[in-house]
Amino acid sequence: MFKFYSIILVYSLSMCFLKVNAQNSVNDYYQYYYQIYKAEKNICNYKYDEALVNYNKAFQMVNYKSYYDMHNAAICALYSDEYKSLNIIMESLLKQGFSLDFINKDVIDELLVGNYLNIKIDSLRLLFEQNIDSVFAKECFQRHDKDQQINKKRIRESSVNNLKEFNKIVYDNIQWVNNIIDSIGYPNRTVLGYEVTEADNPVSIMIVHYLQHKSNKAFPFLKTIDFFKYEEDSIINEYDRIPLLEKLGGEVLKGNLFLGEYINYHNIIRSIFNGRFFYKEYYNSEKLPAIFSEERDVILMDMSENLLNSINTFENKDSLNFILGRNTYRLETTKNNNISMGN
């Protein structure tokens, strides 16, 4: 009897170990970007077969993938006649609500007829649509539209009342965004629908306007510029305490927010004196909050710099329409890749 329970105990512990390791192996976005940079480097060297190997490795590490990476991987697979990989990549694109229109429809039809592909386009699109929260999406777009409407009015008329109204909207929106991130994570196209892409998300302008307002407290001289000017009040002070950049960095780790989108937020801040005073004011630091770790961030920054140099000299000889460099870890105002002291 003792031996029987010992076997059961060992089995249970083994299953727990396997479960934990399986969970840890999913959504490893550091390794994801590491492989993506290697893939894009191979594309720049016209090694499409090797790039596809990198993409396949990257896609096995995460559940949610960047459109740009799937786009590039599909082109590599098609060029290399790797139809099994192409089928998997196309399914991933459709599951995330993307079209396949970057590939000639006649080519897709020919591959379907020849049984090289086995994708159920309509059913996969329906699967994506079932996850969209239309009520939430409607509120998100309404908040975005109101932000834009009042901001344009503020700039056009430059009245104190318009300025106060805009400030109220900015901080009301960031409270809403903050609560949403705490609840479901950074909202992307999985809940917002077809209109949202990595380059166009209604939440982004809300965050940008909030960061611009926060910058005024770190850069007092900006108060003399009408576009940034606001009156100090308790609402603004309250939301200064939100560690938004750290929270967004956490969303990169989870895959709700892609690295390129996140770095764009930093580059907005860093456009003024490399963000030195901003980070010090709000994070008691003279460096940006690390995403993966300081060591891993530096590795990705070095790889990004090397990759971008290759992209700048890349000639698309085969007219394959690759989209490169969209998720690089490039802080635009840095003079070197050292993550510390003012970078």
Nearest-angstrom CA–CA distance, 198 and 192: 12
Does residue 42 register a pLDDT over 50?
yes
Q: What is the pLDDT of residues 58-106, one digit of tens each?
A: 999 999 999 999 999 999 999 999 999 999 999 999 999 999 999 999 9
Does residue 236 register a pLDDT over 70?
no
Domain boundaries, the chain: 26-130, 134-312
Maximum distance among all Cα pairs of the chain, rounded to whole angstroms:
84
pLDDT band at 225 (very low <50, low <70, confident <90, very high): low
Residue 263 is predicted with a pLDDT of 93
Nearest-angstrom CA–CA distance, 30 and 305: 16
% of the chain residues with pLDDT over 90: 58
pLDDT higher at 263 or 6: 263
pLDDT band at 337 (very low <50, low <70, confident <90, very high): very low
Q: What is the pLDDT of residues 13-24, one digit of tens each?
A: 444 433 334 334
State the average pLDDT for the chain.
83
